[in-house]
Amino acid sequence: MAACEDRRVPAKVTLANRRMSAFRLLRVARTNVLETIPELATWQTMVSGKIFKRWHMVMDPGGIRRMLKENPEAYPKSEAVKNLFKPVIGNSLFVAEGRHWQWQRRAAAPAFAARNLKALAPVMSKSASRMIERLSAAVGKEADIHMLAVAATFEVINSVCFSGEDSMEFETVQEAFEKFIDDAGRVSLLDVASVPAWVPRPSRLYNSYFHRRELKRITDPAIEARQRIGRRSPPDLLDLLAEGEDPETRRRMNNDELRDNLITFILAGHETTALTLAWSFYLLAFDADWQQRVRDEAQSVLEGRVATADDIGKLVLTRQVIDESLRLYPPSAMLARTAKERDTIGGRQVLPGDTMFIPVYALHRNHCHWSNPDRFDPNRFADRRSIDKFAFLPFGGGMRICIGASFALMEAVVILSSIISRFKFTLVPGREPEPVMILTLRPKGGVRLLVDAA
């Protein structure tokens, strides 16, 4: 559960301080994956053990660089991760490996080029305006900022994917995603025991079939309609992905590949940014001084309007707060790989078949890399060049760094600055959010804040 004995320290997870049996590990992981991380992982750069098979937690930036950048082919995503996601999002960019991943990445990359992101920015500004309207109705009241952020980022991804037409129903997509987290996102004993992927996980397969069917029902007609009608002007994400071509193989995505990647971007695209915003608003409510500093900056830059892409470079403190939020509450707080060959990581021998964890939550709070790591201090990011890029992994790292990272950061800055310039947020006594990870690091109970006009 969350711990916050020191009022200067925002909500955090109580990490494990004793060794766990396989069954206790399974029980704890089904409630909060982060509570399985040893507290030692915030003080050391490597922690190893064995439950059915050998595992290593890597908090050493050099070792992480080795895994994600220098020798990534030797560390593919773990079978447990693939088992979890493949039934819903197919062999999309998130799951694919090797050449199948490479050509998809090359084909999709132009869709996320800077010129296309800037063209999509007005959608973010429009969503910020709608969130302002919703918050205006909540002035003087308590509001769940997390759910408001989910609605805002869903509007963005809906418009970005489908130009606002052939649009998705928010309730339908959100319900499918929530059920996916509830049903498929919970750790199976077969995963803990490292049982091979070809052994079925019955409940996961059964439930994932229905989640996938529901998401296909939304995306397939949109893809087919677009093929009949033709591209929009300006093109949206569906157009850009459909037109994307791997410059090396000249291969383009077929309808199945297009759908699987579209579902991936829909689910990840609004969930992770919504969480970044929710935790950022919580942290600004936690620290009134920083809230005022960010508000002063936003009011000075925006002068009463909503933010646009042209404002991003001027909203320096806003970006620092977002980076610090991503450090304290990374949406993807645990990465898992499987070693395919003998290697040395952090001075420790790694054998084929070893499970390699990068506990991003612990890495971001490791005393070897960060001063007072549990404290909220956006000044850490005043000079990003001073931070080892493999000690800060909110979007992963190496060649598999999240393809939508720039999109997510732009969206977060646009919405956060537009909102904070108009409203003041205060913590609700006794309603501290609890950081809980099943698939993503969410605030259990929501982010309940008091809303007032600035």
Nearest to 58 by CA among 402, 345, 341: 345
Q: Which range has the top average pLDDT, 23-27, 137-141, 216-220?
A: 137-141
Please give the CATH superfamily to which domain 2-453 belongs.
Cytochrome P450 (1.10.630.10)
Asked if residues 26 and 191 have their Cβ atoms less than 8 Å apart, the reply is: no
Q: Is 411 helix (H, G, I), strand (E, B) or coil?
A: helix
What pLDDT score does 376 carry? Answer: 98
Task: Kindly state the tokens that stand for 362.
Answer: 């612990």
Q: What sign does the dihedral 409-411-413-416 (CA atoms) show?
A: negative
Nearest to 340 by CA among 94, 77, 84: 77
Q: Is 203 helix (H, G, I), strand (E, B) or coil?
A: helix
Nearest to 270 by CA among 84, 415, 398, 135: 415
What pLDDT score does 199 carry? Answer: 55
Gap between the Cα atoms of 68 and 414, Å rounded: 30
Q: Is the peptide bond before 433 cis (omega within 30 degrees of 0)?
A: no
- Give one DSSP letter per residue of 11-64, joined into a string: -EE--B-S---HHHHHHHHTT-GGGGSBGGGGT-SEEEEEESEEEEEE--HHHH
Asked if residues 176 and 300 have their Cβ atoms less than 8 Å apart, the reply is: no
Task: Kindly state the tokens that stand for 37.
Answer: 């991380």
**195 pLDDT tier (thresholds 50, 70, 90):** low
pTM reported for the whole predicted model: 0.92
Note the pLDDT tens digit of each residue in 40-67.
999 999 999 988 889 999 999 999 999 9
58: left (phi over 0), alpha (psi -120 to 50) or beta: beta
Q: What sign does the dihedral 251-252-254-260 (CA atoms) show?
A: positive
**78 pLDDT tier (thresholds 50, 70, 90):** confident
What pLDDT score does 208 carry? Answer: 63
Q: What is the CA 329 to chain-centroid distance, rounded?
A: 10
Name the more confident of 327 and 192. 327
Q: What is the CA 417 to chain-centroid distance, rounded?
A: 20
What pLDDT score does 101 carry? Answer: 94
Could you identify the residue written with the tokens 């130009």? Answer: 163
Task: Kindly state the tokens that stand for 112.
Answer: 């996320």
**Per-domain residue ranges of the chain:** 2-453
Task: Kindly state the tokens that stand for 117.
Answer: 């992101």
Sheet containing 53-58: give its strands across.
46-51, 53-58, 355-358, 335-338
Gap between the Cα atoms of 394 and 408, Å rounded: 11
Furthest CA-CA distance within the chain: 60
Note the pLDDT tens digit of each residue in 340-399.
999 999 999 999 999 999 999 999 999 999 999 999 999 999 999 999 999 999 999 999
Average pLDDT over residues 290-317: 97
Gap between the Cα atoms of 325 and 268, Å rounded: 18
Gap between the Cα atoms of 77 and 91, Å rounded: 12
Half-sphere exposure of 76 (CA within 13 A, CB side): 16
What is the overall mean pLDDT for the chain? 89
Note the pLDDT tens digit of each residue in 9-23.
999 999 998 888 777
Extract long-range pairs of 161-167: CB within 8 Å, 24+ residues apart: 161/222, 161/236, 161/237, 161/238, 161/262, 161/265, 161/266, 162/222, 162/236, 162/238, 163/232, 163/236, 166/221, 166/222, 166/225, 166/226
